Structure 1
């Protein structure tokens, strides 16, 4: 279930995502890039870790940009509220260079302090989903009280890419902005953690995944062309590079927790 944040948070929070499922034995889930960062509030007993690490149970995880796919081991009862943030939001709110979050899945309390534990406890004790949204809105509104507006150049760049579903070139992006390529790339690394070209590729792939979720049958050629790929072979190659599976495998996936988080 996706829920909208307070209107004043539009440039910070894309949406809140509620994931609630039955208890599960240890199972491997694949996470791949969708261009966003965020906080995962763990309101039950789920544990989450990379497949080569010991299981860890935390009340909240924070994640950054993902440059490639990762396999994570998930156990326990899933009762999560995910604050899906804009690509640049983590740097704007907490001031940590986005490159330091790259490929990271961290216990949030270690990175952001005691306030994350407080909000997680309040979310767990909330009466319903509407109370949880109100708590999250207040949490983020207080976080941006002193500096409500992110870098306008970065916001404009991300909006331009999103509005065209990633079917843009870096050259056309630069023509739409009062900035040169070197400065834009430096700002992207600081605010978002990846290059403009990488974000373009990720957003295009994300929109292709959304298109696949809306169609039935196995004819995915139209998705390739609608998503701006040269042909089906190019689409398959790019999709597998970022997700580790083919578009057909993704389309047949029966157990997605979220667009970019799939049970294998």
Structure 2
């Protein structure tokens, strides 16, 4: 498949990592996807995508997905054409008006949040428009949906979340709260409101994401060193979290990655793995 993406212009870049178009024949139809530090919007321009686990569903026109805290299994059609958005973990709320906790670990049809939007994007892009046109249409739709005034507390979450991102989840909640001049309870409440998860859980996902992208499948994996570099100081905790997030032990996951290398020119998250 071909992945064409770009970072949107301000002010969208405050809330969005990239807008992208995914097209072509998938090398693997079924994918096991671990939690990653982002929320998502997909508008499907082709055949339906199937979510197989944990709750089976057929996704046709488009859907939002909040931040996921557990892995899920999806199945691509034989030919894929999707225009999508990778939001920063706190980035979905300014566009939807939906409490982030209501989207955590869930997928919601686009039209349930933006009535008529999926059909409008599909109509404007059509079946043969180039990827650049699809990205432009999606960017215009996002600009039209962005709240003029950010919700109260979002700036605090954006600042603290940015520090977590920069540190790969390496900062304690108490340090984030102290730096912001608020209590840990207040910071946690704002994260629940605007991200749907606590800052502690968000730090865990950033830490895991850093570990995944640091693995070079072509070389022997020194898991103890990689885990420590990613901020894990307890080997048993690392092994349990890895199994929880991927469904595999580190050794099993590495064997799969060696069998199924990540595709070139895809975004730098090596987490999704063929479910063979």
TM-score, length of structure 1 as denominator length: 0.87
Matched, 1:262 2:270: no
5+ residue gaps, structure 1, are none
Please identify, of 165-174 and 68-77, the stretch whose mean Cα deviation from structure 2 is larger: 68-77
Alpha-carbon offset, residue 53 of structure 1: 6.0
Matched, 1:238 2:241: yes
Superposed counterparts of 1:127-146, under 5 Å: 127-144=129-146, 146=148
Aligned structure 1 segments of 4 or more residues deviating by more than 6 angstroms? none
- Take 2:182 and 2:145, find their aligned partners in 1: how far apart are those partners? 29
- Take 1:206 and 1:138, find their aligned partners in 2: how far apart are those partners? 30
Alpha-carbon offset, residue 95 of structure 1: 1.2
Alpha-carbon offset, residue 79 of structure 1: 1.9
Which of 113, 116, 120 is equivalent to 1:114? 116
Superposed counterparts of 1:46-61, under 5 Å: 46-51=48-53, 56-61=58-63
Matched, 1:198 2:201: yes
Superposed counterparts of 1:145-184, under 5 Å: 146-147=148-149, 151-184=154-187
- Take 2:63 and 2:182, find their aligned partners in 1: how far apart are those partners? 35
Alpha-carbon offset, residue 115 of structure 1: 1.8
Alpha-carbon offset, residue 179 of structure 1: 1.3
8 A contact 2:66–2:105 mirrored in 1: yes
Which of 44, 47, 61 is equivalent to 2:46? 44
Q: 1:145 to 1:107 in 2, by over 3 A?
A: closer
Match for residue 35 of structure 1? 37
- Take 2:52 and 2:214, find their aligned partners in 1: how far apart are those partners? 29
Which of 93, 96, 100 is equivalent to 1:98? 100
5+ residue gaps, structure 2, are none
Q: Map Cα deviations across residues 125-179 of structure 1 (whole Å, 9 max, x no partner).
A: 4632222222222111221262368821011011010010111111211122121
Match for residue 67 of structure 2? 65
- Take 1:24 and 1:229, find their aligned partners in 2: how far apart are those partners? 33
8 A contact 2:32–2:272 mirrored in 1: yes
8 A contact 2:45–2:82 mirrored in 1: yes
Alpha-carbon offset, residue 49 of structure 1: 2.2
Give the aligned length: 262
Match for residue 219 of structure 1? 221
Q: 1:97 to 1:145 in 2, by over 3 A?
A: closer
- Take 2:55 and 2:241, find their aligned partners in 1: how far apart are those partners? 28
Matched, 1:78 2:89: no
